[in-house]
Amino acid sequence: MNIAAVPGQTKAKRILQYVLKSGKVSHAYLFSGPSGTGRMALALAFAKALFCTAGGDDACGECLECRKFEHGNQPDLHRVAPDGASVKLGQIQELQREMAFRTTSQHRKVYIMEHAETMTVQASNSLLKFLEEPLSPTVAILLTDNPLAVLPTIRSRAQIIPFLPFPPEQMLQELVNEGQPHLLARAAVHLASGIDGARQLIQQNGFAEMRNVVIQLGKEGLTRFTAAMITAQQRLFKTELGEQSELFLSLLLLWFKDMIHFQAGRQEKMVFIDQSEWIGTHAFAHSVDYWVECMEHTLEAGKRIAANVAPQLAVEQLLVNLQEG
C-alpha cells in the first residue's frame, strides 16, 4: 500500500509526503493517535517510500525495492511488537544487534515499533541511547495511542505525527462500499476509532445479536420493567453476550442518543435508523434532560463494572434507574 492509498489522515500524509519530497527525513517519528486510525498502514507506506528508488513523495510500487517490500523481503526493515504485555530490553538489544551491521544497500535502515508506550524503563533507556547515537542513517517509527506514556526524552527526540479518529460518516461510507451490512456498520463506526476496528466489530461473533438485544431492552427498559429484567436474564446473561457488557452499554448509550437526535431533527445521524418509527413515537414522550439522564445512568453502570461490580448486578441496577427515571 502506498501513502496515497491509506484512507483518511490527510494531515499526517501531507507531513510525511513533504518530508519525502524535501528529503528532510528525521531520525525518529512518533505516530500518535487512537488505535484503528491507520498508524501501522501509514508507517509501512512511509517505510516503503523511504526504500523506494524512484524518489518523489510516495513509493512507486514498481522498482525492485518496492517489490521486495511488498513481498516482505526488505532486509533493512525491522519490526518490534510487545512480547506479552510490554516491549522488553532484550527486544531492543536484539534490534540493536540487527541494526549494528552496515546497511546492505544505499538506503536507510528503518524500524517500526508498535505500542511504544509499553516499553519497560530499561527498554526505553536502551532505545534512547540508540536514538541519540544511531550508527548509520536510521529512521525509527514509533506507534502509540498514549504519547504521554512514552519516555519524555524519547518523545522530545521524535517528530510527532498526529492521527485523528476517522469521522464516522467517512468510515460508514467506506464500509458500505466494501459490502458490509449497513445497519451494523452504522453502529460499529460510532464504537471504533478506526475503520479496522469497526470492521472487526462487525465481524465479531454476536455483534448483530447484541444490537437486537439492545433494541429490545431499550424499548422494554422504558416501559415494561419486568419484561426488561427477563430479557436481560435470558438474552444477555445466560448467553455468551453476557461477557460483553461493555459493548452492550456502548450500544445502549447510542440508543438514548438517537432519541435526542430525533428530537433535534437530526434523523440522518441516528444509529438505529431501522427503528425510526418506534423512536419517533417515543422520543418526545420525555424531555432531552431525561434522555441525558438515561445516558448518565448507562455510563454509571459502566463505571461500576470497571470497579469490579458484577455485570449482571450493574445492568439490573441500570434498568431500575431507568424505570425510576
Partner 1 sequence: MKLSISKHELNEAIQQVAKAASSRPAIPILGGIKIDVTHQGVTLTASDTDISIQSFIPVENDEHVIAKVDKPGSVVMPSKFFVEMIRKLPADTIEIEVGDSYQAMIRSGSTDIQMVGMDPEEFPVLPAVEESEVLQIPGDLLKAMIRQTVFSASTSEQTPVLTGVLWNLQDGLIKFVATDRHRLASRTAKVDTAPEYRFTNVVIAAKTLVELSKLIPDGSALVEVVVASNQVLFRIGTLLFFSRILDGTYPDTSKIIPQSFKTELVLDTRKLTDAIDRAYLMSREEKTNIVRLMTLDNSMIEVSSSSSELGKVTEQLEAASLEGEPLRIAFNSKYMLDTLKVIDSEQIIISFTGAMSPIIIKPTDHANSLYIILPYRTTN
Span of 42-50, 103-111, 242-250, 261-269 interacting with partner 1 by CB under 8 A: 103-111
Residue selected from 27, 68, 235, 282 as contacting partner 1 according to rule CB under 8 A: 68
Of the two residues 21 and 67, which places its CB atom closer to partner 1 in the complex?
67
By CB under 8 A, tell whether 125 contacts partner 1: no
With contact defined as beta carbons under 8 Å apart, do 212 and 275 qualify? no
By CB under 8 A, tell whether 132 contacts partner 1: no
By CB under 8 A, tell whether 54 contacts partner 1: no
Extract the C-alpha cell encoding 229: 429484567
- DSSP code at position 75: T
Residue selected from 84, 102, 289, 307 as contacting partner 1 according to rule CB under 8 A: 102
Span of 72-80, 159-167, 177-185, 233-241 interacting with partner 1 by CB under 8 A: 72-80
Residue selected from 10, 22, 100, 308 as contacting partner 1 according to rule CB under 8 A: 100
Residues 6+ apart with CB under 8 A from 52: 58, 59, 60, 63, 65, 66
CA distances from 244 to 190, 219, 239, 277, 304 (A): 17, 20, 10, 28, 14
Beta strand 138-144 pairing with 109-113: parallel
Residue selected from 93, 233, 312, 321 as contacting partner 1 according to rule CB under 8 A: 93
By CB under 8 A, tell whether 107 contacts partner 1: no
Cα–Cα distance measured from residue 6 to residue 23, given in angstroms and rounded to the nearest whole number: 21
Strand-by-strand arrangement of the 138-144 sheet: 77-80, 109-113, 138-144, 28-32, 159-162
Closest approach, Cβ 153 to partner 1, in A, equals 18
Of the two residues 55 and 75, which places its CB atom closer to partner 1 in the complex?
75
Residue selected from 26, 122, 136, 234 as contacting partner 1 according to rule CB under 8 A: 136
Cα–Cα distance measured from residue 233 to residue 95, given in angstroms and rounded to the nearest whole number: 51
Of the two residues 85 and 100, which places its CB atom closer to partner 1 in the complex?
100
Residue selected from 18, 101, 278, 284 as contacting partner 1 according to rule CB under 8 A: 101
Residues 6+ apart with CB under 8 A from 112: 40, 43, 44, 47, 77, 78, 79, 80, 141, 143
Residues within the interface to partner 1 (CB under 8 A):
64, 67-68, 71-75, 93-94, 96-105, 126, 135-136
